[in-house]
Structure 1
Amino acid sequence: MSEALNLLKARYGREETVPDISWNPVLERLLSHRSVRAYSSKPLPPGTLETLVAAAQSAASSSNLQLWSAVAVEDAERRQRLSVLAGDQAHIRQAPLFLAWLADLARLRRVAAQRDIPAEGLDYFEMFVMATVDAALAAQNAVIAAESLGLGTVYIGALRNHPEQVAAELNLPESVFPVFGLVVGHPDPQVTPAIKPRLPQDAVLHRETYTLESQDDAVRRYDRIMAAFYAEQDMATPGDWSEHSARRVSGPEKLASRARLKEALNALGFKLR
């Protein structure tokens, strides 16, 4: 129970009441999650990739359409090129495995064509959303599996910075989009990342109906927690969480090349009616 208390305190940045339930290793593993951005070059044990994919395929899938795929990139030169496309992030080069998670409508489009069945439904935005959700659910299962094996992970949203170039690098057909990447490897033992606090539950958990104004106090408490966290971790983040987050969405220039995502999707064969 003491470990659960420590993990809850780290996750929320303050003391939390431990629910009156039976704590177990799975819950402790989930609460221990942290993004790892420093890796050793130690190779992964044989069978790791296949185990992660099996865990990913055990996630829920809407209507069992399984509208996702993943490309495993182990080649150092390809990881180097992808790292440049994804904001020159060093950990993509450091770790032995990089997974590109894909919203994949091409497989079902091909299956429908082989059965002479129209596939017009794949041109609607709903199907792209469904594929993106499927990919995220699968990837999170893979993350939990990797962490249970003592490995570290970090998601790479910057894979969307240059989606056409990423698609060319990975030889993606039309109707396949790189949603995000995932670095997998052995954490550098010299670097221990902190558990980043999240918003208080009363900011994200609503009962019966949604209320916006009631979140203000929780956000103010969180701002104080994150201002202290940024200082403790010596992070060059201006202000508190509200300041940082508001500036992050202040204009399209903050999205950089991702502001043209709709254009990139069209170029990659998504009609999105």
Structure 2
Amino acid sequence: MTQTAPSPAHPVQQRYADPATEIPAQWNPVLEVLHAHKSVRRYLSDPVSPETIRLLVSSYVGFVDAALAAQNAVVAAESLGLGTVYIGALRNDPEAVAAELNLPDHVFAVFGLVVGHPDPAEGTKVKPRLPQTAVLHHETYDLSAQREPVAEYEQRIGEIYTDQGLPFSWTERTLARLASAASLNGRHRLRESLAARGFQLR
């Protein structure tokens, strides 16, 4: 049985919010799922079946890095029609998270991952990402080649932020998160938190 995927034109252009984005020469159902990823923020109360959970957990086998394992779980979940969203805020107060989860020493929650049935009333959209020309370098790092595509992205994502009632500038939003210790929402204590969990960093 062969499996085919629709044309890549729509999902690729949707992901980067740019109709001029180059279309990949090769395409498959896995790439279709990756480009269609949405950070789902509202879920239905329908439980995820134990069979599905076991399938998702199997995505972790063989991976020792939490981020790689989680990303594979996301691909597996979304291929089954489920929604996902990472919760980086767990790093804002690692001690409280550890207490809530009853984690033993030397265990640290890197992030959370919500998996569930997306609420269709939410109307979640694909969030455009930076184009490859802004993040991909060949042989050596080239800042000058990034400036124009980043400026173009700033305009595209700003229009989407405006539709969502958010401040226009992606650049300003990014810099604001790093402006001070207070803007890090507790993450300035990560070294201290890791030490408290038993990670003696040098």
- Residue 173, structure 1, aligned to residue 104, structure 2: yes
Matching of residues 1-273 of structure 1 within 5 Å: 3-15=7-19, 16-21=21-26, 23-58=27-62, 61=63, 66=64, 134-232=65-163, 234-236=164-166, 238-273=167-202
Tell me if the contact between 1:159 and 1:178 (Cα under 8 Å) persists in the aligned partners.
Answer: yes
Matched AA of 2:190:
L
Matched AA of 1:159:
L
- Higher strand share goes to which structure? 1
Q: Return the offset for 1:2.
A: 6.4
Deviation digits for residues 224-255 of structure 1, max 9, x if unmatched? 101111123x232x231112111221111110
The SS at the match of 2:9 is helix
Q: Distance in 1 between matches of 2:6 and 2:79?
A: 20
Matched AA of 2:171:
S
- Of structures 1 and 2, the one scoring higher in RCO (CA 8 A, sep 6+) is 1
Tell me if the contact between 1:11 and 1:197 (Cα under 8 Å) persists in the aligned partners.
Answer: yes
Matched AA of 2:45:
S
Q: Distance in 1 between matches of 2:93 and 2:177?
A: 19
Matched AA of 1:28:
E
Supply the RMSD in Å over aligned alpha carbons. Answer: 1.4
Q: Distance in 2 between matches of 1:224 and 1:2?
A: 29
Matched AA of 1:18:
I
Matched AA of 2:23:
V
Q: Distance in 2 between matches of 1:2 and 1:262?
A: 46
Q: Distance in 1 between matches of 2:132 and 2:92?
A: 32
Q: Distance in 1 between matches of 2:24 and 2:115?
A: 32
Q: Return the offset for 1:3.
A: 4.0
Matched AA of 2:168:
G
Q: TM-score, normalised by structure 1?
A: 0.69
Q: Distance in 1 between matches of 2:197 and 2:165?
A: 37
Q: Distance in 1 between matches of 2:84 and 2:165?
A: 20
Matched AA of 1:157:
G
Q: Distance in 2 between matches of 1:188 and 1:239?
A: 27
- The alignment of Structure 1 onto Structure 2 pairs a total of residues equal to 197
| Aligned counterpart, 1:77 | none
Q: Distance in 2 between matches of 1:46 and 1:150?
A: 15
Structure 2 residues without counterparts, runs of 5 or longer: none
Q: Distance in 2 between matches of 1:140 and 1:219?
A: 25
Deviation digits for residues 204-242 of structure 1, max 9, x if unmatched? 01111111122111111011101111123x232x23111
Q: Distance in 1 between matches of 2:157 and 2:188?
A: 28
